[in-house]
Amino acid sequence: MQDLRGEPDELFRRTPSGASTKMTFSLEVLLPREGFDDFGTQYETAAQRLRYEIQLELKEDLQGVFVSHEDCRVIKGEQDRISFGINEKISRSSRKTPFLETERDAQGNARVFRIRQDGLAESGTSKRGSPLQLPAAEAARSALSTIATSEFRHLFALKKLISGTRFLEINPTSARKASDKYEDKKLRSDASNLAACLSDIKRRSQTDARENGSLSDISADLAMLIPQVRNVKMLDDSRSGEYAFEIELRDETSFSSRVISDGTIRLLALLALIDDPDREGILCFEEPENGVHEGRIPDLIEILRGATTQQSEEGDFFQILMNTHSPAVMRSLEFQEVLFADMILSARDESSSSEVRTRMRRIAPDKTLFDDEHHLYPAKVEELLKKMASGV
């Protein structure tokens, strides 16, 4: 919360009738079938479908934000509402006890977080020691954040999935610069180490048959989106210990990263994530249409969609969450991929004053299923976006 805009207490909902002191989040996840913890121990997830809940509470008397509730348990097959189709059967468990739960006292206040061990012993049987208990009265961090090994394999896999969320807010000025050889190779949110990231992708993926490895895929996708582009070239200087890159055009002229456009830099950084053969986790990205000719937006959306439909060897999926105000992007998306958000005035009852709230609506495939509160249909979305674009 400290990395977000404003102070932590300012992030809680405020309305004319007062300020809220609690936030509740719920996640339903599809875990990878297997993985490795931070010490190289391999684990398997017997239950791939989990529901995790966490509640944050602002306590002004203690001048801080605390975790007042946490819970994690399996989603049983008969209760599952997953609509995302995968090729392989989901591994499920008949487990009844939660992996993580909050115990409360007689007054209903959180007393302890109870965490149950579920890793495998050397014999292959599940470890079942006494639950680990953490004080919950003034918890300044989540119980999930304390999980460090596969002794708690499902919670570790959940933590790894959540912590794999990445926010891409590209700063073209920073992304143009050469990178030091000791620079972190994992792309930063502002793409300030883009040159080091591209060089590392080339090194990790190159083979005798493909000297440039996945850098060739990045070049091909960039050329599809910007037809003048022919190739992305690395300029790794072993003497100075720097990584740099340039763009070669179809007329065989080349331009260094220092002079290429903001739009090209932005797309190149995005493709560095999308075409990385070791991509994982969840990417959050704002306004993918920026820097892209409207006629190329369908190609961009297809590239993004393709990256999310390929399952890794561990059974994991790369995911993308993005927001847009572009009718062109909307036309390229499938209705089940869209959640439409707008702000409306509403009142709980006739005696209450009106308050602004965010309304989230799915896109129904046709007008016959239209429901003003819960659904929109494609033509209505197009109409609303055009009105916003024209300032009506």
pLDDT at 172: 93
Task: Provide the token pair at 109.
Answer: 């206040």
Q: Boundaries of CATH 3.40.50 in the chain?
A: 167-311
Give the pLDDT confidence of 359-375 residue by residue, as tens digits: 888 888 776 666 677 78
Give the pLDDT confidence of 5-45 residue by residue, as tens digits: 788 888 998 877 778 899 999 999 999 999 999 899 999 99
pLDDT at 61: 83
Task: Provide the token pair at 388.
Answer: 């916003």
Give the pLDDT confidence of 184-225 residue by residue, as tens digits: 899 999 999 999 999 999 999 999 999 999 999 999 999 999
| Mean pLDDT value across the chain | 87
**HSE (CB half, 13 Å, CA atoms) of 155?**
26
Question: Is pLDDT of 292 > 90?
Answer: no
Give the pLDDT confidence of 139-175 residue by residue, as tens digits: 999 999 999 999 999 999 999 999 989 899 999 999 9
- Can you state the percent helix, strand and coil of the chain, rounding each to 5? 25, 30, 45
Percent of the chain with pLDDT over 70: 91
> What would the DSSP string read from start to end of 290-335?
TTS-GGGHHHHHHHHHHHHSPBPTTS-B-EEEEE---HHHHHHS-G
Give the whole-angstrom CA distance, residue 72 versus residue 148: 16
Question: Is pLDDT of 125 > 60?
Answer: no
CATH code of 167-311, in short, is 3.40.50
Give the pLDDT confidence of 227-243 residue by residue, as tens digits: 999 999 999 876 778 99
User: Which letter does DSSP use for residue 109 in this model?
Assistant: -
Give the pLDDT confidence of 50-101 residue by residue, as tens digits: 999 999 999 988 889 999 999 999 999 888 888 766 667 888 988 999 999 9
